[in-house]
Structure 1
Amino acid sequence: MPLNTNKPVSDTLEISITGIASISPLGTTLESVWEAYGTEASCMVQKRYGAEMVWVAPLTADGRAETKAIGASNGMYGNLDDSVLFALYAGRKAVSQSGWSGNNDFGVNIGSSRGATALFEKYHAEFLKNGRTPTLTSPTTTLGNISSWIAHDLQTSGPEISHSITCSTALHALLNGVAWIRSGMADQFLVGGSEAPLTAFTIAQMKALKIYADSDMGKVNIPRTADNAYPCRALDLQKKRNTMVLGEGAAVACLEKGRSDNALAVITGVGYATEPLKHNISISTDALCFQRSMAMALGTADPSEVDVIVMHAPGTIKGDLSEFTAIEKVFCNKIPVLTTNKWKIGHTFGASGLLNIELAVLMLLHQKVIEVPFLEPISKPSQINKVMVNAVGFGGNAVSVLLSRK
């Protein structure tokens, strides 16, 4: 089946990223995030969820304190789920960085794979016990809750969109923002994803799929070596078992029409594709959806121009290998440098794609490749001019974004 290359999106209007912010296991500022990427340490710890200890990647102590402070700052905010508080924190910082403060007509599209997970589980437990729910159960657990509260908090009257397209949610939000701007219906859009999935029930769901890292993938209280330091072996194509680990956080970006003077990076191509399902959770062995999305994002650009690919690479055997196979088919004999951040911060579901964008932007700004420490050293490019970012979710819905240096 031929690749879907008949939509050269990269040849149309460029979009600038003028602000990007996150809250994650890496920290709460671009400076702290980049500093954390400069170390080879994983952000994963073992915590008890239900009856067992499992690997997770939680927010930093500072990040947790910051989101609690937002919840305590306003009577209405105290009833919001962490997924909303994470997004509020990141949204405020991105808008301030971009210089949008005082602007009241930008659009908002913040997605989430799971939404208000912890709050929904809490309210459902109360319902099972008492047969009734608190008054705010419905309005604080709807998926539109995230974008609505951000629009309220930032006082914008532009369009508000929320959605869930599993693990590619944040990059689909970016697609939506690009589409609105290129259509002429908006000049600016705040896009991203937020996820707070560290609950016993959510982790149990991942374990039921048999894709979660075993508790012995990283060892406790012994010297860490290359063999036991990293519970999530993302991008290790030789691993013999699945090693996905969940993380939490949010990341958002400010998109503006054209090539702005204060751009951090420029979106020069976007691609998307969905492939027919053969199983509820799988994509094909050669990830046809990724082949199509990457080809579309490239448009008429030569594949050799791409210096780095930030892979989705969830740490599962089939997921990592199928994406790598797709890259081989698209880039043939000149495969770009490959990297991922899931070995460090875990899989943040709907937020993961924008956290990948953040890593790509930082590599473009600092002209340094962040390597996967347990893999063989790589030959790095002398300059990083173009970075491709991938994401895919259950259902084979892939998105690829091509970023260029300002």
Structure 2
Amino acid sequence: MQHPISISGIRSVSALGNSIEEIWNSYLKGAPLFKKSRLGVSEDWISEISDTSEKALLELRQSQQAYTKLDRSVLLAMLSARQSFQSGKSDMRIGINFGSSRGATQLFESYHETFLNSGSVSAFTSPTTTLGNISSWVGQELGIDGYMSGHSVTCSTALHGVLNGIAWLQSGMADLFIAGGSEAALTPFTLAQMKAMKLYSTSENVMACESMRFQKKKNSMVLGEAGVAAVLEKNISEKTLAKIIGYGVASEKLKHNSSISDNADCFQRSMRGAMESAGLENVDIVIMHAPGTVKGDLAEKNALDLVFGNNLPLLTTNKWLIGHTFGASGMMSMEMAVLMLRKNTFIENPFYENSRHLPNELNTVLVNAVGFGGNAVSIIIRK
């Protein structure tokens, strides 16, 4: 990379909590943050944001009349961005790229139900359900008037936002960039979609998402909601929490809409690209995408074995704790990476036993994300 990219702020709003201390304590506790809820015809495991996060979200919603009309996914994005961004940067050229896999799911479903019943919809329907709504409201909340863009690259959405931030900063088109992902898709229709593909966990045990249990015979995805934002700047400063030193991106030819090759060709290329751009032969940790599906987990593990061979890094993930947060998931992993580096502590996954010994000091983490469409992203972060 021409210049290292600093992560000068990163915050999430999720089941883990609403403060750095609360989030880290949730990781250390290591208990799945799932509860049974009846969203559709049956009770299923889901992962909702914490009570402290819900309180902060409600305060944000009630802070301005216009905010009461916004979708939950937009509010999650605004709250996480506000917590990660330091004010007083009005003289800087700031870009925003916030994405979501599903977008304004709750509002869209509500408006569509009204339309089916009455044949008409609210005047707020179009402006509050467009995908660009997320980044533009983040900008409104932060008082930023520069570049704002929203996008969806399914479950690799947030890390694609990081790639865009790297490009804007390296090119000199921005001095600071806010990248993030937000997902509030805990709705009956979304859950029904996952069940239709037979991806959802049917376990009665709270350890319902068996992410990285490579011997499992049944899919075990659990849905979660989250908003997470990272503030990116070029070069290193006293505000730097960690730095991005490598990235890779790749896609692969699909056999069907949700397919991935047996050895995750896309991940092999994205990880090799990240290692090459960082000038590394190995990393200390890989935070896997590992959604909890039989094929998704195993294909990524096969790719890791082919890329690293006998020198496999420590492997972990956070989906067994918070479920799959779709478009926010890659950035949730990036926040986990920053915390592990700063705390010099490795968060284990109970479904997988690492054979590699833990080093005295953690220095590098590779974060993976991929989504429907075979769009893989790998980002390497250094202490």
User: Given the alignment of the two structures, is residue 395 of structure 1 paired with residue 347 of structure 2, yes or no?
Assistant: no
Which AA in structure 1 matches 2:275?
L
Within 5 A, what are the aligned runs for 1:233-244?
Answer: 233-244=210-221
Aligned with 2:85: secondary structure? helix
Identity percentage over the alignment? 50
Q: How big is each residue's C-alpha offset from its partner over 1:235-264, in whole Å with a ceiling of 9 and x where there is no partner?
A: 010111000000001110000011222200
TM-score normalised by structure 2 residue count: 0.97
State the alpha-carbon separation in 2 of the partners of residues 294 and 380 from structure 1: 21
Contact residue 92 and residue 175 of structure 2 kept, 8 A: no
Query: Residues 167 and 391 of structure 1 are in contact (CA less than 8 Å); yes or no, is this contact kept in structure 2?
Result: yes
Where has structure 1 moved over 4 Å in runs of 4 or more? 99-104, 300-304
In the aligned structure 2, how far is the partner of 1:213 from the partner of 1:142? 30
Q: Distance in 2 between matches of 1:100 and 1:252?
A: 18
Alpha-carbon distance in 2 for matches of 1:172, 1:85? 21
Please state how far the C-alpha of 1:51 moved relative to its aligned partner.
Answer: 1.4
Opposite residue 229 of structure 2, the aligned amino acid is: V
**1:154 maps to 2:142:** yes
1:118 match: secondary structure = helix
Secondary structure, in 3 states, of the residue corresponding to 2:113? Answer: helix
Of residues 37-46 and 370-379 in structure 1, the stretch that sits farther from structure 2 once superposed is 370-379
- How do 1:16-95 residues align onto structure 2 when only pairs under 5 Å count? 16-95=6-85
* Offset at residue 392 of structure 1 (A): 0.1
> Hey, what's the Cα distance between the residues in 1 that align with 2:353 and 2:303?
21
**Contact map agreement 2:314 2:354 (CA 8 A) in 1:** no
**Equivalent residue number for residue 188 of structure 1:** 176
Q: How does 1:5-404 map to 2 (within 5 A)?
A: 11-96=1-86, 100=88, 102=90, 105-216=93-204, 218=205, 229-299=206-276, 301=278, 304-376=281-353, 379-404=357-382
8 A contact 1:95–1:101 mirrored in 2: no
Whole-angstrom distance in 2 between the partners of 1:232 and 1:103: 45
Give CA deviations for 1:321-347 in whole Å, capped at 9, x if unaligned.
000111111111100000000000000
Q: How far apart in 1 are the matches of 2:270 and 2:164?
A: 15
CA positional deviation for 1:150 = 0.7
Q: How far 1:173 moved relative to its partner? A: 0.4
Q: Provide the alpha-carbon RMSD of the alignment.
A: 1.3
The question of whether the paired residues in 2 share the 8 Å contact of 1:71 and 1:77 is answered with yes
Q: Give the distance between the partners of 1:328 and 1:303, measured in 2 at CA.
A: 17
Q: In structure 2, how many angstroms separate the alpha carbons of the residues matched to 1:110 and 1:300?
A: 25
CA shift in 2, pair 1:163/1:22, >3 Å: same
1:61 positional shift = 1.1
State the Cα deviation string for residues 216-250 of structure 1 (Å, max 9, x = none).
2x1xxxxxxxxxx4100000101110000000011
Distance 1:15 1:100 in 2: 20
Deviation at 1:376, TM superposition (A): 2.9
Task: Give the secondary-structure state (helix, strand or coil) at the position aligned to 2:134.
Answer: helix
Offset from partner CA, 1:278-331 (integer Å, 9 cap, x none): 111011000010011011111165654400000000000100000011111111
Q: 1:347 to 1:190 in 2, by over 3 A?
A: same
Q: Which runs of 5+ in 2 are unaligned?
A: none
**TM superposition score normalised by structure 1:** 0.92
Change (3 A) 1:37 1:131: same
Matched position secondary structure for 2:62: helix
Output the CA distance in 2 between the equivalents of 1:198 and 1:274. Answer: 28
Q: 1:110 touches 1:191 (CA, 8 Å); kept in 2? A: yes
Quick one: distance in 2 between partners of 1:183 and 1:105?
Answer: 13
Question: Is this contact kept in 2: 1:103–1:156, CA < 8 A?
Answer: no
For structure 1, the residue ranges without an aligned partner over 5 or more in a row are: 1-10, 219-228
CA distance in 1, matches of 2:88, 2:177: 10
